[in-house]
Structure 1
Amino acid sequence: MTTTPVIAIFDIGKTNKKFFLINEYYKIVLERTTSFDETTDDDGDPCEDVAKLKSWVDETLKNALSQKKFDMKAINFSTYGASFVHLNNNNDVTAPLCNYLKDFPEDLKQEFYSKHGGEEKIAQETASPVLGNLNSGMQLYRIKHRKPELFNRIKYSLHLPQYLNHLVSGNFYSDITSIGCHTQLWNFGENTYHAWVKEEGIDKILAPIFPSDKVDEVIIDGKPYAVGVGLHDSSAALIPYLANFAEPFVLISTGTWCISLNPFNNNVLTPEELSQDCLCYMEYHGKPVKASRLFAGNEHEQQTKRISAHFDKPSFYYKMVAYDADLVPTIPSGVAGTGVNQSAFVDRDLNSFKTYEEAYHCLIADIMEQQKASTHLAIQDTQVKRIFVDGGFSKNPIYMNLLAKAFPNFEVYAASVAQATAIGAALAIHKYWNNKQLPADMIELKYYAVAHNVEI
């Protein structure tokens, strides 16, 4: 019987937990998806159910290994960030996983920054805005100072991708893509943990750093497998583009947040940029990736509900609206936006629009004013001439046409990689399981040109 060589990837989102088998041509040959109800932490707040996650990972991997038609060569992991799993000396989970959306105590925040040099200094040195529990290092600081008995029980605090690695390999590792993504743990200028981490003794519960592009050999049921350390999902999603394009580009990854990622920008973050929600991610080879964030997907969701209710249309009606250049100039101007969270549209009177289509074009145009400013923060003086857009807005013709209009001197493409984070996690350790060349059709591109008035 002929078997298909594959890599197994666990891709864990906050809502959907996915498992893939991917063949040597980077085609998905098996997919499993599940979701769990959240549990509550010791404060009664909602959080990930780590016990259910562990059971599902164990069961899913066991089932995949039993499938005779596949020859599994390797395993890797990609998960959402800013989340720690805490293990005790018996290697058991000893505390709930803290939800990064949970409020961080204001008094403890003030105490931390006054003790360690102030918000601006820490933010600039760690290339991250002040974000409360989304700065996952602050979760460890809170445990140390508010729950010392728990802190003393912790042998290692592993970011979620590395906890999945531990479930398979039994090893304890940290990974630079997780450490380097808005954690406030890493000093980007000195390329090591920030001084506060050592001063507080937090470094003692952080496992050794293992390279994101290397593997351990792990024996399962007598057979060796190449097992990767796991990656932060935003860093993983960038890898297919880094693997396919050598010329400088910016990737606008769109979802709830629209994140402009520029792997070719080496400029140091300024306090002004940090105040505008710029930060650095960490590329899987350990290079900083300058990024800017916009809460545009969330605003789009809220405002399309408002438009639909006003014009008595279904909530999904925007998907049927075609781009009409004639509607764009009719948009009323002169209303300012309110930073990264809201565009000017939130204050617009819907009675000023004659149709749903006119209102929706205005919404996207208002969002585009912010998108233009946000993406320029990531581009700066770099040699970037191409912009790729993936995620939800890449399928929106109004957004894409207005983006091309906003960046007339750039090549603008809607890009699509099926399950980009999973493919990225597979690509990170390509050479350890796959001796074939990378396929040329991994990324689908659709070019959007700036429309010019010409006589025909």
Structure 2
Amino acid sequence: MKRKVTAVFDIGRTNKKFFLFDSGFQEVYREYIRFDEITDEDGYPTENLKALENWAIEVFDRILDSREYEIETLNFSCYGASLVHIDENGKAITPLYNYMKPFKDEIFKSFYDSYGPEDELSRITGSPKLGMLNTGLHLYWLKYAKPEVFNRIKYSLHLPQYLSYLFTGIPVSEYTSIGCHTMLWDYEKEDYHLWVYREGIHEKLPPITSSRETIPINYKGKVIRMGTGIHDSSSALLPYIHSISKPFLLVSTGTWSISINPFSTGMLTLEDIKNDSLFNMRIDGSPVKVSRLFLGNEYKLQVKALSNHFNVSDDCHKKVKFNQDTFFEINNDFVAMFKWSSIASGDMPEETKIPYDKFEHAYHQLMLELIQLQQKSIRSAMGDVKIKELYVDGGFSDNEVYVQLLSQHFGNMKLNTTDSSLGSALGAAIVVSDVISLAPQFLKKNYTLKEHSPFILK
């Protein structure tokens, strides 16, 4: 007898993954692939959309014919800030433009001259000025830089919804993709911003459908419930929301450290915008306050510089264990020593000066300074919400020095680390299920949940 499963395509910038989950959300199958990037018409690197399409269809068709699994539901979790533009025949008419593609100053000027001021527009839309990362500005750019292309667009679909369209033939928009720093959504009106209507952008956006919505599709003779797709950051939050009853904050670490507060209320302030806070959106359209910090990128740059300074191997930092005596020695006479390369901070010196003769001491100093930035970012996301639990996942969750120093800063809170390699894929499976809540032990069982306590100060 075939095993009934939910299938999920989890599409990241680097790895493209396909998962099968059973009714208890246990992974029963996975495969992944990587594609070399191609270039757009300007020579800028971008996703090979055709290769992604071909792989997705090949994998799904192959597993659909499996003797072992019966796919009942299919959903999609994808990175955000990426649009696929289709014509009236449903064909993509542009490359999948890279969200890091440079944005010309004259486009910014034209937009803000018409619809600014910048800070107020960012506050209302929950979207800092990010160029192509603002998919609304992406569409504005297309309208004025490539009008012949813009006029051919029937619909512009965020990547999760385009992959759904690939299997269903039904174009839709969806809250989590619309609400993630796109500059499209007015969080006060709970509707597209006025500029979207004035520019006719709304005509290129298909009707909004709930992330929970599934469409029964007869696909090659088999009726399968097809999901609308979901933005990966919002998807990764769902297992936490469904299994934790008390207000919490999730710190998702990697190149960016993203502090996510799903319990925030009210609008962002201008001070929030200055602190690099923004809104993501939950599946019901409500805002999620998020604070960003370029922590992983800065860490990589500084560790490389330290390794060169002390003439040690590039992976020496991975072997450093937290040392209380070293911490106390540094903390008692603390002076900031690092000039950041990719983070703006008013407290940093004009140049980096390392007085230590041991790599381990300099590394502890670096982590102490980075944690000071991290705790400010976390407190910015918390706002005035009373939160007693912190969850840390991603690359820094297994960094002992990071975790110990963070627990010290938030000694009155419960700090947990998790290993959520399935995070966004699992969320995509959960959102199209009938499950309202998960067992309290779900994270402990599936996410290698670990609780951490602050060390005792001398």
TM-score between both structures, scaled by the size of structure 2: 0.94
* CA spacing shift, 1:12–1:429, aligned 2, 3 Å: same
Query: Which moved further from structure 2: 310-319 or 333-342?
Result: 333-342
Aligned to 2:358: 355
Give the conservation status (yes or no) of the 8 Å contact 1:276–1:340: no
- 1:118 Cα shift? 2.0
Give the conservation status (yes or no) of the 8 Å contact 2:243–2:439: no
- 1:59 Cα shift? 0.8
Aligned to 1:269: 268
Distance 1:97 1:452 in 2: 52
Aligned to 1:141: 140
Aligned to 2:258: 259
Residues 390-443 of structure 1: per-residue CA shift (max 9 Å, x gap): 0011111110010011111111111222310100111111218x9997973233
- 1:171 Cα shift? 0.8
Query: Which moved further from structure 2: 116-125 or 225-234?
Result: 116-125
Query: Which moved further from structure 2: 25-34 or 139-148?
Result: 25-34
Task: Give the counterpart of 1:333 among 320, 325, 335.
Answer: 335
Correspondence 1:100 to 2:102 = no
Matches within 5 A, 1:404-443: 404-431=407-434, 440=442, 441-443=445-447
Give the conservation status (yes or no) of the 8 Å contact 1:345–1:366: no
Aligned to 1:151: 150
Query: Which moved further from structure 2: 439-448 or 132-141?
Result: 439-448
Distance 2:393 2:342 in 1: 20
Aligned to 1:5: 4
Task: Give the counterpart of 1:448 among 440, 452, 455.
Answer: 452
Give the conservation status (yes or no) of the 8 Å contact 2:298–2:341: no
Give the conservation status (yes or no) of the 8 Å contact 1:25–1:438: no
- 1:180 Cα shift? 0.0
- 1:313 Cα shift? 2.3
* CA spacing shift, 1:226–1:249, aligned 2, 3 Å: same
- The residue type equivalent to 2:453 in the other structure is A
Matches within 5 A, 1:67-146: 67-146=66-145
Distance 2:349 2:307 in 1: 14
- The residue type equivalent to 1:106 in the other structure is D
- 1:58 Cα shift? 0.9
Give the conservation status (yes or no) of the 8 Å contact 1:252–1:260: yes
* CA spacing shift, 1:99–1:242, aligned 2, 3 Å: same
- 1:67 Cα shift? 1.2
Aligned to 2:232: 233
Distance 2:247 2:338 in 1: 32
Residues 284-313 of structure 1: per-residue CA shift (max 9 Å, x gap): 222210010000000111111112222232
Distance 2:438 2:138 in 1: 42
Correspondence 1:214 to 2:213 = yes
Distance 2:16 2:175 in 1: 23
Could you say what secondary structure the match of 1:291 adopts?
strand
Could you say what secondary structure the match of 2:268 adopts?
coil
Give the conservation status (yes or no) of the 8 Å contact 1:213–1:429: yes
Identity of matched residues, %: 39
Matches within 5 A, 1:297-308: 297-308=296-307
Could you say what secondary structure the match of 1:430 adopts?
coil
Aligned to 1:401: 404
Could you say what secondary structure the match of 2:208 adopts?
coil
Could you say what secondary structure the match of 2:418 adopts?
strand
Could you say what secondary structure the match of 1:33 adopts?
strand
* CA spacing shift, 1:211–1:347, aligned 2, 3 Å: same
Gaps of 5+ in 1: none
* CA spacing shift, 1:314–1:274, aligned 2, 3 Å: same
Distance 1:241 1:68 in 2: 34
* CA spacing shift, 1:201–1:392, aligned 2, 3 Å: same
Counting matched residue pairs gives 451
- 1:190 Cα shift? 0.7
Give the conservation status (yes or no) of the 8 Å contact 2:336–2:369: no
Gaps of 5+ in 2: none
Could you say what secondary structure the match of 2:417 adopts?
strand
Matches within 5 A, 1:180-199: 180-199=179-198
- 1:231 Cα shift? 0.7
- 1:329 Cα shift? 2.6
Query: Which moved further from structure 2: 26-35 or 388-397?
Result: 26-35
Aligned to 1:392: 395
- 1:78 Cα shift? 0.6
Distance 2:397 2:196 in 1: 40
Give the conservation status (yes or no) of the 8 Å contact 2:338–2:353: no
Query: Which moved further from structure 2: 329-338 or 296-305?
Result: 329-338
Give the conservation status (yes or no) of the 8 Å contact 1:345–1:363: no
Give the conservation status (yes or no) of the 8 Å contact 1:26–1:442: no
Give the conservation status (yes or no) of the 8 Å contact 2:392–2:418: yes
Give the conservation status (yes or no) of the 8 Å contact 1:83–1:97: yes
Aligned to 1:321: 320
Query: Which moved further from structure 2: 221-230 or 194-203?
Result: 221-230
TM-score between both structures, scaled by the size of structure 1: 0.95
- The residue type equivalent to 1:451 in the other structure is F
Distance 1:298 1:105 in 2: 24
- 1:347 Cα shift? 3.6
* CA spacing shift, 1:287–1:320, aligned 2, 3 Å: same
Distance 1:379 1:296 in 2: 18
Give the superposed CA RMSD.
Answer: 2.0
Distance 1:81 1:319 in 2: 30
